[in-house]
Amino acid sequence: MAETYAGAIDRGLEGVVACTTGVSSIVDATLCYRGFTIEDLAANSSFEEIVFLLWNDRLPNSDELKTYETKLSEGMALNLELINVLKSLPTKDVHPMAWLRTATSLLALYDDKAQSTDDADRKEVAMKLTAQMGSLVALFERLRQGKDFVAPKADKSMAWNFLYMISGEEPQDEFVKVFDTCLILHADHELNCSAFSARVTSSSLSDIYSSVVSAIGALKGPLHGGANEQVMIMLKSIGSVEAAGEWIKTALANKEKIMGFGHRVYKNGDPRAKILRGMSKELNEKAGSPQWYEMSKVIDDTVQSEKGLLPNVDFYSATVYNSMGIPTDIYTPIFAMSRVSGWLAHIFEQFANNRIYRPRGEWSGKENQKWMPVSDR
Ligand code: ACO
């Protein structure tokens, strides 16, 4: 007889506390990275500073920040051998997240420190992965347009370089600032699905690349990071501000999930969505496309009144990226470009205090089966 368990099964591990963490925290509607509120960091910090904060548990001094800025921007360059191998991967009808997952795995084969367990080597691997995730996304975008890789500029930020590398044109200051804020907002989020995946893989004492590839796979799904792309697809298929309310009511009546709404932890709103809502309004008005924000607002109001659900980080980020001319299917890869910094902080934390994750599953299958020869079946 299979073992059964007296306690309730926590489907989706809701409410289960799986580890301690000092990386980021969510209390009610307050998100903090290393004890600093997301509002404070989004208003005052830079993505490079956030990377330092997440990995070192404190803000950098000016020399330390300069070092991170230099390492990250210089690290964005991809070597020619790797570019040539990546050029051989298909891009047509390939989802950029699938390509990014494969490309990140390939990156490990060109890194002689990939398997090292030395702390300094691991930090180098982390720096390279964080610097190059955005370069891989940019390379994918260029390759599918039949264009060449644009080399990053060493004296520019990661946000500046990413926008430059996807378009080949120097970005406007305003877009750089907005994009940098988006990177800050997406950098970490406690024990979310992808960070947990990274930690589960690390807990077997596997290597950093394997852990990050696990996390990319988890982020790709539409219930997690993949929702931002789905939000823009939904807005485009609704088509107009006037149609939005009825469209949503019909979808809810059909028991469909509205992408970009709801959250396992936040019940009183996602603080990142509030910041992104303001950015979406301003940017879409300036871009001469206010309908995207207005449509989003109607959807927001309708989902709240009909279902009591609030928008999460993925809802308004979609129209922020759209207003900047970023292709819809690279919204989730951009999420990965930022979140890799948080995954790495979690991986380091897991290595520092490891115990393998190994939960149980209550048996719900057949009992007492007996094998018989194929001729008798
Ligand atoms: N639209 C409509 N109904 C919803 C939504 C939604 N977006 N989210 C939750 N609900 C409903 C469910 O249908 C369910 O209703 P029921 O009790 O009548 O069956 C109830 O609310 C609870 O929903 P669950 O899916 O059980 O909530 P869970 O905590 O497991 O999932 C999740 C959270 C995945 C975020 C969910 O709200 C969802 O699927 N949202 C849409 C996808 C999305 O935006 N994901 C991004 C999340 S943020 C991030 O990961 C970066």
What is the pLDDT, as a whole number, of residue 15?
87
Indicate the domain borders of the chain.
24-222+329-352, 227-323
Give residues (CB < 6 A) around ligand 1. Answer: 12, 192, 223-225, 227, 257-264, 307, 309, 312-314
What is the pLDDT, as a whole number, of residue 2?
62
Answer whether 273's CB lies under 8 Å from 259's CB: no
Would you call 149 helix, strand, or coil by DSSP?
coil
Q: Whose CA is nearest to atom 21 of ligand 1?
A: 262
What is the pLDDT, as a whole number, of residue 9?
83
Q: How far is the CA of 309 from the centre of ligand 1 (A)?
A: 9
Compute CA 335 distance to the chain's CA centroid, rounded to the nearest angstrom: 3
CA distances from 63 to 59, 70, 154 (A): 11, 11, 17
Would you call 30 helix, strand, or coil by DSSP?
strand
| Residue 186 annotated to the active site | no
CA distances from 223 to 87, 257, 273 (A): 30, 9, 16
Q: What CATH homologous superfamily does 227-323 map to?
A: Cytochrome P450-Terp, domain 2 (1.10.230.10)
What is the pLDDT, as a whole number, of residue 8?
76
Q: How far apart, in whole angstroms, are the C-alpha atoms of residue 317 and residue 332?
A: 10
CATH (one of 3.40.50.10490, 1.10.580.10, 3.40.50.1970, 3.40.50.10860) for 24-222+329-352: 1.10.580.10
Mean pLDDT by 10 residues, the chain (377 residues): 69 94 97 98 98 98 98 97 97 97 97 97 98 98 97 97 97 97 98 98 98 98 98 98 98 98 96 98 97 98 98 98 98 98 98 97 96 97
Pocket-testing residue among 13, 261, 272, 303, ligand 1, by greatest number of atoms within 8 A of Cβ: 261
DSSP state of 150: P
Backbone dihedral region for residue 260 (phi beyond 0: left; psi -120 to 50: alpha; all else: beta): left
| Residue 263 annotated to the active site | yes
Answer whether 73's CB lies under 8 Å from 161's CB: yes
Q: How far is the CA of 8 from the centre of ligand 1 (A)?
A: 21
List, edge to edge, every strand of the sheet that includes 36-37. 24-27, 30-33, 36-37
Pick from 306, 225, 231, 311: which is nearest to 269 by CA? 311
